[in-house]
Amino acid sequence: MIGLCLGLAGTVWAQVPTPAFTLAWTHTIEKVRWEEDYRVTPEGLVLGEARVKGSGAGMEIPDGAQLREGGWHYQRQLPPLQPLRLGRTPEAGDYQLCFNQHCHWMSTWLGPPQASQPALELWSCELATYIAQPSASQIAIKPGTDPSSLVADWPGC
C-alpha cells in the first residue's frame, strides 16, 4: 500500500496511510491560512488545487486564480514532487495534515517544531505493513485495516 512518509534525507520518521491529503499552514507575516491539496502517487506527490484567504508579503496570487468563498483558488501544473521540502520551525508554527475529513497538527507524528531540526520532507512511499511495537512517531497498519479507523486513537485528535 502506498502512503505518505514524513522524514528527512530518506530517513522515515513517520508514515501516514492516506492516498490524498491537504497541507495547511498559517502565513507567518500575513496570518492567513494557506492550503494545498495533494494526491499520493507512486511517482510522487501531485499538487491539485491550492487556496489562500488573502495576499501579501511573498503571497502573490497566480494568474488564472479565482476568488471563491472568500479565498483565491488556483492550480499549478507541476511534475510530481518527490520529495516535497518544507521549513518547520517554532517561530513559523506547525503545519496541519488534513485527510479523512480531519486535520492533525504535524506534531501529532513528529513532536513540536524545533530550531535544531528546521526542515522536513514529505514523499510517497510503500507503507510498512506491520511494526511490532510502534512508537508515537510511527504509524503502521496491518493489511486489511481501514486507515480511517485509526484516527480516533491518534494523540492530538
Q: Is 89 exposed, middle or buried (0-12, 13-18, 19+ CB in 10 A)?
A: middle
Decide if 59 contacts 52 (C-beta within 8 A). Answer: yes
C-alpha neighbours within 13 Å on the C-beta side of residue 50? 19
pLDDT category, 135, cuts 50, 70, 90? very low
Q: What is the pLDDT of residue 58?
A: 72
The answer to whether residue 149 scores a pLDDT higher than 60 is no
The answer to whether residue 127 scores a pLDDT higher than 60 is yes
Q: Residue 50 has which C-alpha cell?
A: 491550492
Q: Locate the DSSP E strands across 20-95.
A: 20-26, 33-41, 44-52, 66-68, 71-75, 84-87
* 57 compared with 87, residue with greater pLDDT: 87
Rounded to two decimals, the pTM is 0.78
Q: Residue 153 has which C-alpha cell?
A: 486513537
